[in-house]
Amino acid sequence: MIAIALSVSAVLGACGSDNKKSGAQAPSVTSGNTSTETGTNTSTATTGAGSQGSTIRFSDGNKYKADVDRKGETILIGMSNNEGPSISLPDMRIGIEAAVNYINKNGGVNGAQIKLDECISDGSPEKAIDCANKFVEDKVDLAMYGIEYAAAAILPVLRDAGIPLAVPGVVADQQRMDPNTFGMIAPQDEVTVLPEVVLKQLGYKKIAYISENNPVNQATALRAAKWGDLLGVKVFTAGLVDPANADWTAAVQSAIGQGADAISGLPSEPGCTALIKTARQLGFKGPILTSCNKYVTELGPGAVGAITSFPYYAPGLEAGAPDRIVKNLGIYEEQMRGQGFGKYINTYADFTFPTMMDVATLLETIKDKINPDSIRKAFETDRFLPGFAAPDFNCGFTFWEYEPSACRDGLLVSQVVEENGKVVRRPVFKENGGYVVPPPGLSAKAQVLGH
């Protein structure tokens, strides 16, 4: 379900100096077991899948919440979303809207109400800039997008106006090192390399990359091959399918013909379903690792063996999650149904709803007057805050050397299995609630990939 959001965060990146998170370094390894930090109610665990380079934390509550009363205040957030002829994802907007409605009805941000200043764009730089200019004119406190393919065009507009940008995932190369951008999921490189890390750990050595044909996937396919070389596995492009005439047969046949023992890719939700269905029909029995969700209900037993890498826990991906997060997923489903958005539960809304909830958690930490400057300062502060549907996030912490804009580390990796007559998904690895992060030192190797 989140394939598009993740695929646009997997493009080739431009590197530069880290001028946002001075002094922040990668987390140190504590031990191979889950431990509890004294007095913090924070569970800290090292990585699974043989990856011991980072920590995954699950805090019980927001110990940094400010003791302030903001009743009568309004926080204005500019939010754009692509809903045009070439790309239209209204569900990403709806997820943010539903979260804001829930926040406002439950006390707001320390009493303040959030107001969305919405702007519908179409994926073009011109419209994206129009939206950014609107936010500047309306004097928003913070800018966001559900999805904005032309994000590169808005960066200088917002930066010059001093308006910070919080996003579900980084889309443009320029955002990776942009000190004004705060991406709420794992870095681009991790989205590209973690599927290969997982498949290698599971014993697969020849991985076919298959996805829709667009500039993002063209770049991702090249990058995936380079990561494969560094990891010691063969990654090759078996086919990039024309989304306007999506026939996945030739790509899957190419993968089989070249001896692939696993398939990975970042296709759209319909693409995921078609890819997995076609691969099974053609007799491919190996794992197919994507970033989708909807295919499980659509294919049923035909989805068994497929693997999902995802930034957040979501309906159907609750296994291994802490009780607090399982409860939050129930809130998400309840709110989506109660607000008339039930049909969007298993869509990109389960990506943007928790993103908005996490942004609200960060806004709650501000003691001073809420404005662009205080919001940016809050994002830049090095501290771990509880995630609504994911491990803790810290936008003032550098998880990946070449993408300091990323506020999180790791992806949830689950496999479709048949259990007691039901098709369900279970974490591939038991550690860290199913989350996997790269092995130590892998970030430093990114410099050979075009940085």
CATH assignment of the domain containing 218 = 3.40.50.2300
pLDDT in the model for residue 39: 30
> Strand pairing of 55-59 and 74-82?
unpaired
* 60/433 Cα distance (integer angstroms): 14
Query: 21-30 burial by CB neighbour count: b if 16+ within 10 A, else e?
Result: beebebbeee
Rg of the chain (C-alpha set): 21
Q: Are residues 123 and 156 in the same domain?
A: yes
Q: Which tokens is 173 given?
A: 């190369």
Asked which of 361, 380, 399 is the last residue of a domain, the reply is 380
Average pLDDT, the chain: 86
CA atoms within 13 A of residue 272's CA, in its CB half-sphere:
29
Residue 60 lies in a domain: no
Q: Are residues 437 and 291 in the same domain?
A: yes
Residue 386 lies in a domain: no
What stretch of H or E contains 190? helix 188-201
Residue 252 lies in a domain: yes
Q: Are residues 298 and 218 in the same domain?
A: yes
Domain range for 137: 65-186+322-380
Residue 32 lies in a domain: no
Residue 222 lies in a domain: yes
Q: Are residues 436 and 298 in the same domain?
A: yes
Q: Are residues 297 and 162 in the same domain?
A: no
Which DSSP letter does residue 441 get? T
pLDDT tens for the chain, 451 residues: list them: 444 444 444 332 333 334 455 433 333 222 222 333 323 334 343 333 333 345 789 999 999 999 999 999 999 999 999 999 888 899 999 999 999 999 999 999 999 999 999 999 999 999 999 999 999 999 999 999 999 989 999 999 999 999 999 999 887 878 989 999 999 998 888 888 899 999 999 999 999 999 999 877 888 899 899 999 989 999 999 999 998 888 999 999 999 999 999 999 989 888 999 999 999 999 999 999 998 888 998 999 999 999 999 999 999 899 989 999 999 999 999 999 999 999 999 888 999 999 999 999 999 999 999 999 999 999 999 999 999 999 999 999 998 888 899 999 999 999 999 999 999 999 999 889 999 988 877 877 776 665 4
pLDDT in the model for residue 448: 61
Q: Are residues 204 and 178 in the same domain?
A: no
Number of domains in the chain: 2
pLDDT in the model for residue 132: 98
Query: 82-106 burial by CB neighbour count: b if 16+ within 10 A, else e?
Result: bbeeebebbbbbbbbbbbbbbbeee
Residue 328 lies in a domain: yes
Q: Which tokens is 271 given?
A: 């693409």
Q: Are residues 432 and 352 in the same domain?
A: no
Q: What is the pLDDT of residues 305-318, one digit of tens each?
A: 999 999 999 998 99
Residue 21 lies in a domain: no
Report yes or no: 346 and 1 within 8 Å, Cβ to Cβ: yes
* 105/345 Cα distance (integer angstroms): 20
pLDDT in the model for residue 51: 34
Q: Are residues 171 and 282 in the same domain?
A: no
Strand segments, DSSP code E, in 194-256 are 206-212, 234-241
Q: Are residues 100 and 245 in the same domain?
A: no
- pTM of the predicted model as reported, rounded to 2 decimal places: 0.85
* 45/90 Cα distance (integer angstroms): 36
Q: Are residues 256 and 131 in the same domain?
A: no
pLDDT in the model for residue 86: 80
CA neighbor of 388 nearest in space, from 69, 147, 95:
95
Residue 37 lies in a domain: no
Residue 320 gets the label, from left (phi > 0), alpha (psi -120 to 50) or beta, of left
Q: Are residues 303 and 233 in the same domain?
A: yes
pLDDT in the model for residue 44: 40
Q: Are residues 130 and 210 in the same domain?
A: no
